[in-house]
Amino acid sequence: MTKCFSVTCLEVIATMRDLRKKHQLVEAAGDTYGKTLTLLSLDVCSDDSVRKCIDSVKDHHIDILINNAGVGLLGPVESISMDEMKRVFETNFFGTVRMIKEVMPDMKRRQSGHIIVMSSVMGLQGVVFNDVYTASKFAIEGFCESMAVQLLKFNVKLSLIEPGPVHTEFETKMMEEVAKMEYPGADADTVRYFKDVYIQSSIDIFEALGQTPEDIAKCTKKVIESSRPRFRNLTNSLYTPIVAMKYADETGGLSVHTFYNLLFNFGSLMHITMSILKCLTCSCLRRRTISPD
Ligand SMILES: NC(=O)c1ccc[n+]([C@@H]2O[C@H](COP(=O)([O-])OP(=O)(O)OC[C@H]3O[C@@H](n4cnc5c(N)ncnc54)[C@H](OP(=O)(O)O)[C@@H]3O)[C@@H](O)[C@H]2O)c1
């Protein structure tokens, strides 16, 4: 994402918790590093760190804030400690809120600015065994949906980017954690459904539908460059039928039963299901997403 923006004439401030990990980013940035790209240290879970980071920006002047930091959490809820759940909310929800709170007052004063929040398809649709992660993304969607109305009055834009699966370290880190976890507290059937049914389907879904980080960066760039940016931006048109299904039945039954059948009854037909999903994605639904191309 940083690379995608620093080659335009925008001045980019990239942030990371541990600046010792900067080498990959610096290499990707090429000669923009030190010119249009600077690096600052930031931990979105720390009030102090957020304040120090924003205070070091000249006049606090930030035109575009991109909230990308996020952590995942997978597994049966019975085996996840409350502290682990709070860690997810501390990053995905409070981390984003902390950043917006720090940057928004100056944007409101200047009557200009654009806040981008990296949400997820899982901010719109619950996904089995992603209960807590999904809840954190629903929480940030609710926060942003409420904030967007007030911000409009101050000419400040707010946009959610809602990717489906993306091939990043996120996926690798979660799969590594799943492999080493034993899931104490969860019964044998639940662990079996999780490891043998859900994880297998999830691997299929990532393979069939996964986008690249570059795709997401391009979609984000499009949203930023748009004269009238949309509030919600699904990046993967294959997910529009899922979202449409949710809103087609206000009782919620259609979504719950469809996902149940997809996972437990047609799990072995997942590849075919993926093809059906692709067919369902007609051009009218595609128009509802932001495409990287
Ligand atoms: N990958 C997917 O399939 C997918 C799908 C939909 C949405 N998303 C969302 O996309 C965003 C980016 O995820 P990704 O896929 O690029 O995963 P990633 O490769 O794991 O990147 C997440 C980044 O967040 C940073 N981070 C975590 N906690 C932080 C904190 N307290 N303060 C500052 N930075 C922190 C991590 O830094 P460290 O290196 O220091 O840990 C890491 O650079 C997340 O919000 C995620 O929820 C991902």
Q: How far is the CA of 261 from the centre of ligand 1 (A)?
A: 31
Within 140-264, strands assigned E span 157-162, 232-234
Summarised one tens digit per residue, pLDDT across range 103-130 is 999 999 999 999 999 999 999 999 999 9
For residue 10, name the pLDDT band (cuts at 50, 70, 90): confident
Q: Strand pairing partners for 39?
A: 14
- 3-state secondary structure (DSSP) of residue 286: helix
From the list 33, 133, 193, 239, the catalytic residue is 133
For residue 285, name the pLDDT band (cuts at 50, 70, 90): low
Domain spans, the chain? 60-236
Residue 191 has pLDDT above 80, yes or no: yes
Q: Whose CA is nearest to atom 16 of ligand 1?
A: 168
For residue 267, name the pLDDT band (cuts at 50, 70, 90): low
* Structure confidence at residue 22 (pLDDT): 95
Of the candidates 64, 5, 17, the residue with the CA atom closest to the CA atom of residue 214: 5
* Structure confidence at residue 203 (pLDDT): 86
Q: Span 162-169, mean pLDDT?
A: 93
Cβ atoms 291, 281 nearer than 8 A: no
In sequence order, which residues have a C-beta less than 8 Å from that of residue 57 and are 6 or more positions away? 13
Which CATH number is 60-236 given?
Answer: 3.40.50.720
* Structure confidence at residue 44 (pLDDT): 98
Average pLDDT value over all residues in the chain: 90
The verdict on pTM exceeding 0.75 is yes
Task: Among 9-13, 88-92, 282-286, name the one with the lowest average pLDDT.
Answer: 282-286
Cβ atoms 245, 171 nearer than 8 A: no
Q: For residue 30, what is the DSSP state?
A: G
For residue 204, name the pLDDT band (cuts at 50, 70, 90): confident
For residue 180, name the pLDDT band (cuts at 50, 70, 90): confident
Q: How far is the CA of 8 from the centre of ligand 1 (A)?
A: 23
Summarised one tens digit per residue, pLDDT across range 16-62 is 999 999 999 999 999 999 999 999 999 999 999 999 999 999 999 99
Residue 5 has pLDDT above 80, yes or no: no
Q: Which residues line ligand 1 (CB under 6 A)?
A: 16-18, 42-45, 68-71, 91, 95, 118, 120, 163, 165-166, 168-171, 173
Q: Which residue has the tokens 């926060």?
A: 143
Cβ atoms 134, 246 nearer than 8 A: no
